[in-house]
Chain A
Amino acid sequence: MASYDVMPDVGLFQPATVDDALRLADRFLDEGWLLGGGQDTYGWLKDRAKNPKALIDISHIDELRGIRKTDNGVDIGAATTLREIIGDASIGRDYSLLVDAARRVASPQIRNVGTLGGNLVQDTRCWYYRRGLACYRAGGNICYADGPQAMNREHSVFGASRCVAVSPSDTATALVALDATMTIRSADSSRTLPAERFFVGPATHITRMTALEPGEMLTAVTIPPTWAGKRFYFEKVADRNVWDFALVSIAAAMSLDGDAVADARLVCGGVACTPHRLKGVERAVRGKTLSDETADAVAPLATKGAKPLNYNHFKLPLIENLVRRALRG
């Protein structure tokens, strides 16, 4: 277990435009590393578990910053800081779910510099993987977290495939619930993906958390007007009040028709390698009124098919309880 507490020597580029940044990304591919606020990055570099040749700092590129209202909803530049999102009045009014989620990220200091892009693209917090062990996710052929002696209380209960790491991002659950669209660019192309497909599990690509290919950049996130001003619920359970990742979190967006639920998207964080949609619950709750009875009736659906590891059984009642609270009247 190598452990260091000093930064390595690494190249630093500070391009002024997205095009320049993408050209650099294209040049370095796997050996380049986009740098937002650095709050995930620095840990990797300090520990020597990832050793890029060049950091491409995109945090000062104007095109990537800011929040704009458009006909398609609202566009948030990928280098916008979490603090800026939390402080934005229109997001607060229409999409408070995102604000509630962003508010629970880490600490004020980290939110001051951490970017939305960085928060979404951040790597998993599996401590075995982060220590630089040659696990599946690091290209090796073993999962250290899924053994009888392993500490895996923070790991997945859904969707594991060799790797049992979980998605750590608080904003990811909110953006999947809000059905956001991700804009992705590379030096010579541009594409969009629904948030839900932006995050990929180990069965799809075991060494990545997102659909980004080397050389690609997330440039913006668009939240559609579909859910503006609807009923939202966010809750995150952690060992500590602040400065701690979710053990389980829930982000819910619901539209009501009178008293009854017309449509709902419920997404759990901390339970799978991607934000985990509770589709069974979503289906069951449609047409029902929000109440304790509804909540109790559908909550058990949330853990159907869950496969807890040795030490994370406690996540199952947490998932159900968060669903209960999201659906109470």
Chain B
Amino acid sequence: MDDSARQHSGERISGAVGTPIPHDSAHLHVSGAALYTDDLPEPRGLLHAAVGLSPVAHARIAALDLGEVLQAPGVVDAMTADDIPGKNNCGPVVADDPVLAPGVVEYAGQAVFAVAAESVEAARKAVHLAKVSYEELKPIIDPVEAVAASSFVLPSEVIERGDSRKAIDAAAHRLQGRVSLGGQDQFYLEGQIAMALPREDGDLFVYSSTQHPGEVQHLVAEAIGRSSKDVVVECRRMGGAFGGKESQPALIACIASLLAHKTGRPCKLRLDRDVDMLMTGKRHDFVIDYEVGFDDDGLISGIRFEFAARCGMSADLSGAINDRTMFHCDNAYFLENISIVSHRCKTNTVSNTAFRGFGGPQGMFAIEHVIDDIARYLSRNPLDVRKRNFYGKTTRNVTQYQQTIEDNIIEDVVTQVESSSDYAARYAAVRAFNADSALLKKGIALTPVKFGISFTATHLNQAGALLHVYTDGTVHINHGGTEMGQGLFTKVAQVVAEELQIDIDRIKITASDTSKVPNASATAASAGADLNGKAAQAAAQTVKRRLIQFAAEHFNVEPSAVRFENNEVLVGGQAIGFAELVHLAWFARTSLSATGFYKTPKINYDRSTFSGRPFYYYAYGAAVSEVIVDTLTGEHRLLRVDIVHDCGKSLNPAIDLGQIEGGFIQGAGWLTTEELWWNEKGELKTHAPSTYKIPVCSDVPEEFHVTILESQANREETIHRSKAVGEPPLMLSLSVFHALRDAVASVSNYQVLPGLNAPATPESVLRAIDGQRAAG
């Protein structure tokens, strides 16, 4: 250990926190070598499952005869609700979600029975041989109908502050309106899948494509009539999830597990796309009524919202999702006198569930719509009205749920994107263009995002990790988070690399596994890196502390004189390789394995009064979108997008950039091309990419300028002062919708409020243009 060995300082480990390294599996993703659940080697004797779905939205099952199904070639077994040994439930919060329909079906697409056969084809073919007779009952399909019938999955909730009625009545101007806002299918590339393997003595090992292995474990155990200790769930990665694999995988895993349990053979259930879309939940669609009072500048004095969300046939996560709608219908605006009513409508449709943003996007959609209407009514630049209503930094800074906003940077963010996008000049240019262009019309909009970070259910804001150091100085890291392509595992590995000061390729990223880290929360609420990064850091710190203590004793120095730096450990004046130190420590019988735990500080929130501090902090962003609309066809293109987004001090700017771009485009799809269409009988008719249209590469605007806000460290002490980035950017896409409204409004020379609902498909844009002409 000569002096030159210490001279290395200044060089950094590879994969340090803040470096834009690629996703750990990128090379596997692009070469097709990444193993998803369906790619795992199939065990001997594997059975394949298929599910019989209800064709009707609401009915009593009068008779169910699986005789022919069981006779079909290759079929080994079949089951109905009556064959479930344990609880017939896969509901995450309320036990109202049957695995297999118990005598009554409540949506078209609901699982009624399941078949296990020797091949996928045999199972899927056999399903159609079932003889089921349904006595149809009257279904309730849409939320407005549900409100009228008081059909709710959970009680309606209210937040009130001030006296909105009085404020509106006293206001110089008033507007009211109703908008409807479509849902969205998660459309993960990898469909829902689970493979259950019986182990000895009735235990089960389950591979599940899930954001929430712990919940799958608990629900599978209950379904087979065992306990959690008897079931292990593992997930190395998902091919996308977007919230669609937060609660829904339990249904898939329960069916595979029940069949494995019944037959004693391993069983895999992989849904094909149509079945996946029919059977599993989506983003909630809403009908939103509003009433608002404001002054000549557009300052809102009072506002009332009534939200009706189509929750589907069960509660699922609808409580928390709709709570988040109530928390985000302020977006970045101070709404002094406000009344919010939120209905969680029970309908005979698939139970809607989590989707990136988790109710937040719908809330923000509502307030952005109102602000846009106000601006148009007053013939003002919508950005001026937005700014007029922004939260203040020291006054006007308390939300409707009584959280004081301490980290408000919305004006900085907006100012930056306003200038980088040249908003003012382009706003004028758009108007000049429209004055001269009869058929093609442009529109532009700037919308902000303020998104609260934390699970609103306080108890979920906890995480665990498990870290082993092997004697060769390499590390195995495991935590309760799951990888769905978002780069969580890479970020957590970076945190561990930074803590132990070793190159990231010395760290093995491992599959989420309920036997390593128990009781983990779902990887959701954008909080994956915040929670699991901290837990992994804590585990690394524990081992590091032990190593420091060992080194201090071994080399006879003060613990404060031991420093980890660039794959080495500096002990007093000497440097020793990390691996070397580890080996010495092991030899001296030092524990090289530790768990880590983290719980988010400061948050507390009383759901009974909807007040407190549900969010640890907020993430901010703003986007400017410019569109062009063909008024003869309603077709439109996104011409240019400028985004400034706040990631705190980014853990990995490359991954964060991907999240911002992807979130934005996914949001644009929600608001423009993706249409879930139910007929009056409650049959979803857009259940495949043929009719349900997600954005594709060429929908990405040619000019797409994304900037991560420079060095704005999180005020709160999050993991390396970073901010969550999974969900917030999705809502930047509201700028696309409002740019479209702007273009549509130009048809009446901005005299008529555009009646545009989301999604703004060419068909609905054309309808809105007609509305402009008819009214103009």
**Given the known A-B contacts A127-B690, A151-B677, are A2 and B128 also in contact in the complex, defined by CB atoms under 8 Å?**
yes
Determine whether the beta carbon of B762 is less than 8 Å from that of A239: yes
Chain B residue at minimum C-beta to C-beta distance from A150: B679
A107 to B689 Cα, complex, angstroms: 14
Chain A residue at minimum C-beta to C-beta distance from B273: A5
List B residues 723-766 near A (Cβ within 8 Å).
761-763, 766
- In the assembled complex, A318 has its CB within 8 A of some CB on chain B: yes
- In the assembled complex, B696 has its CB within 8 A of some CB on chain A: yes
- In the assembled complex, A149 has its CB within 8 A of some CB on chain B: yes
Return the contact of A314 from the options B439, B699, B763 (Cβ within 8 A).
B763
Determine whether the beta carbon of B632 is less than 8 Å from that of A321: yes
List A residues 1-40 near B (Cβ within 8 Å).
1-6, 8
Contact with B along A134-154 (1 / 0, CB 8 A): 000000000000001111011
Could you say which residues of chain A place their CB within 8 Å of the CB of B121? 4, 6, 8
Return the contact of A151 from the options B439, B691, B695 (Cβ within 8 A).
B691
- In the assembled complex, A241 has its CB within 8 A of some CB on chain B: yes
B246 to chain A minimum Cβ distance, whole angstroms, is 24
A269 to B766 Cα, complex, angstroms: 19
Determine whether the beta carbon of B690 is less than 8 Å from that of A149: no
List A residues 295-327 near B (Cβ within 8 Å).
314, 317-318, 321-322, 324-325
- In the assembled complex, B178 has its CB within 8 A of some CB on chain A: no
- In the assembled complex, A57 has its CB within 8 A of some CB on chain B: no
A183 to B688 Cα, complex, angstroms: 36
Return the contact of B633 from the options A1, A125, A237, A244 (Cβ within 8 A).
A237
Determine whether the beta carbon of B632 is less than 8 Å from that of A151: no
List A residues 198-242 near B (Cβ within 8 Å).
235, 237-242
Contact with A along B673-699 (1 / 0, CB 8 A): 100010111010110101101011011
List B residues 273-299 near A (Cβ within 8 Å).
273-275
Could you say which residues of chain B place their CB within 8 Å of the CB of A318? 632-633, 766
Return the contact of A3 from the options B272, B677, B685, B766 (Cβ within 8 A).
B272
B125 to chain A minimum Cβ distance, whole angstroms, is 7
Chain A residue at minimum C-beta to C-beta distance from B684: A151
Determine whether the beta carbon of A107 is less than 8 Å from that of B632: no
A245 to B688 Cα, complex, angstroms: 14
Determine whether the beta carbon of B120 is less than 8 Å from that of A4: yes
A8 to B124 Cα, complex, angstroms: 13
Determine whether the beta carbon of B681 is less than 8 Å from that of A149: yes
- In the assembled complex, B226 has its CB within 8 A of some CB on chain A: no
Determine whether the beta carbon of B767 is less than 8 Å from that of A314: yes
A317 to B104 Cα, complex, angstroms: 45
Determine whether the beta carbon of B698 is less than 8 Å from that of A241: yes
B756 to chain A minimum Cβ distance, whole angstroms, is 15
Contact with A along B618-647 (1 / 0, CB 8 A): 000000000000001111010000000000
A231 to B611 Cα, complex, angstroms: 68
A4 to B635 Cα, complex, angstroms: 33
Determine whether the beta carbon of B124 is less than 8 Å from that of A2: yes
List B residues 123-159 near A (Cβ within 8 Å).
124-125, 128
Contact with B along A237-255 (1 / 0, CB 8 A): 1111111100100000000
Could you say which residues of chain A place their CB within 8 Å of the CB of B690? 125, 127, 130
Return the contact of B637 from the options A130, A241, A321 (Cβ within 8 A).
A241
Determine whether the beta carbon of A239 is less than 8 Å from that of B683: no
Tell me the count of chain B residues lying within 8 A, CB to CB, of chain A.
Answer: 37
A280 to chain B minimum Cβ distance, whole angstroms, is 20
A87 to chain B minimum Cβ distance, whole angstroms, is 19
Return the contact of A240 from the options B439, B677, B696 (Cβ within 8 A).
B696
Could you say which residues of chain B place their CB within 8 Å of the CB of A4? 120-121, 124, 272
B663 to chain A minimum Cβ distance, whole angstroms, is 19
Chain A residue at minimum C-beta to C-beta distance from B275: A3
Chain B residue at minimum C-beta to C-beta distance from A9: B121
**Given the known A-B contacts A151-B685, A314-B763, are A240 and B693 also in contact in the complex, defined by CB atoms under 8 Å?**
yes
A317 to B696 Cα, complex, angstroms: 27
A5 to B273 Cα, complex, angstroms: 8
Determine whether the beta carbon of A321 is less than 8 Å from that of B633: yes
A324 to B631 Cα, complex, angstroms: 12
Determine whether the beta carbon of B761 is less than 8 Å from that of A3: no
A138 to chain B minimum Cβ distance, whole angstroms, is 16
**Given the known A-B contacts A241-B699, A242-B696, are A324 and B632 also in contact in the complex, defined by CB atoms under 8 Å?**
yes
Could you say which residues of chain B place their CB within 8 Å of the CB of A238? 635, 762
Chain B residue at minimum C-beta to C-beta distance from A243: B696
Could you say which residues of chain B place their CB within 8 Å of the CB of A317? 766, 770
Could you say which residues of chain A place their CB within 8 Å of the CB of B680? 148-149
A247 to B630 Cα, complex, angstroms: 15
Return the contact of B683 from the options A6, A149, A243, A324 (Cβ within 8 A).
A149
Could you say which residues of chain B place their CB within 8 Å of the CB of A149? 679-681, 683
Could you say which residues of chain B place their CB within 8 Å of the CB of A8? 121
Determine whether the beta carbon of A237 is less than 8 Å from that of B696: no
A4 to B632 Cα, complex, angstroms: 39
List A residues 151-170 near B (Cβ within 8 Å).
151, 153-154
Could you say which residues of chain A place their CB within 8 Å of the CB of B275? 3
A247 to B679 Cα, complex, angstroms: 20
Determine whether the beta carbon of B124 is less than 8 Å from that of A314: no
Return the contact of B632 from the options A240, A244, A322 (Cβ within 8 A).
A322
A299 to chain B minimum Cβ distance, whole angstroms, is 10
Determine whether the beta carbon of A1 is less than 8 Å from that of B274: yes
B761 to chain A minimum Cβ distance, whole angstroms, is 6
B252 to chain A minimum Cβ distance, whole angstroms, is 15
Determine whether the beta carbon of B683 is less than 8 Å from that of A2: no
Chain A residue at minimum C-beta to C-beta distance from B637: A241
Determine whether the beta carbon of B633 is less than 8 Å from that of A6: no
Chain B residue at minimum C-beta to C-beta distance from A244: B693
A183 to B690 Cα, complex, angstroms: 32
A107 to B439 Cα, complex, angstroms: 27
Could you say which residues of chain B place their CB within 8 Å of the CB of A247? 762-763
Determine whether the beta carbon of B699 is less than 8 Å from that of A3: no
A240 to chain B minimum Cβ distance, whole angstroms, is 5
A238 to B679 Cα, complex, angstroms: 22
A278 to B283 Cα, complex, angstroms: 43
A241 to chain B minimum Cβ distance, whole angstroms, is 5
A324 to B770 Cα, complex, angstroms: 17
A98 to B357 Cα, complex, angstroms: 44
A131 to chain B minimum Cβ distance, whole angstroms, is 8
Could you say which residues of chain B place their CB within 8 Å of the CB of A1? 274
Determine whether the beta carbon of A325 is less than 8 Å from that of B632: yes
Chain A residue at minimum C-beta to C-beta distance from B669: A240
Chain B residue at minimum C-beta to C-beta distance from A241: B698
A129 to chain B minimum Cβ distance, whole angstroms, is 12
Q: Quick one: which of A130, A239, A242 has the most chain B CB within 10 A?
A: A239
B496 to chain A minimum Cβ distance, whole angstroms, is 38
A314 to B120 Cα, complex, angstroms: 41
Determine whether the beta carbon of A6 is less than 8 Å from that of B120: yes
Determine whether the beta carbon of B120 is less than 8 Å from that of A151: no
Could you say which residues of chain A place their CB within 8 Å of the CB of B124? 2-4
A39 to chain B minimum Cβ distance, whole angstroms, is 13
Could you say which residues of chain B place their CB within 8 Å of the CB of A153? 763
What are 28 A-B interface contacts by the 8 Å CB criterion?
Answer: A2-B128, A3-B272, A3-B273, A3-B274, A4-B272, A5-B272, A6-B120, A8-B121, A125-B690, A127-B688, A127-B690, A149-B679, A149-B681, A150-B679, A151-B686, A237-B634, A238-B635, A240-B693, A242-B698, A243-B696, A244-B693, A318-B632, A318-B633, A321-B632, A321-B633, A324-B632, A325-B439, A325-B632
Report the 5 A-B pairs with minimum CB-CB distance, sorted nearest first.
Answer: A321-B632, A151-B685, A149-B679, A5-B272, A237-B633
Q: Which residues of A contact B (CB under 8 A)?
A: 1-6, 8, 107, 125, 127, 130, 148-151, 153-154, 235, 237-244, 247, 314, 317-318, 321-322, 324-325
Q: Which residues of B contact A (CB under 8 A)?
A: 120-121, 124-125, 128, 272-275, 439, 632-635, 637, 673, 677, 679-681, 683, 685-686, 688, 690-691, 693, 695-696, 698-699, 761-763, 766-767, 770
Beyond the given pairs A1-B274, A149-B680, A318-B632, 17 more chain A to chain B contacts, judged by CB atoms under 8 angstroms and listed by A's residue number, are A3-B124, A3-B275, A5-B272, A6-B121, A149-B681, A150-B685, A151-B691, A237-B762, A239-B762, A241-B698, A242-B696, A243-B696, A244-B693, A247-B763, A314-B763, A314-B767, A318-B766
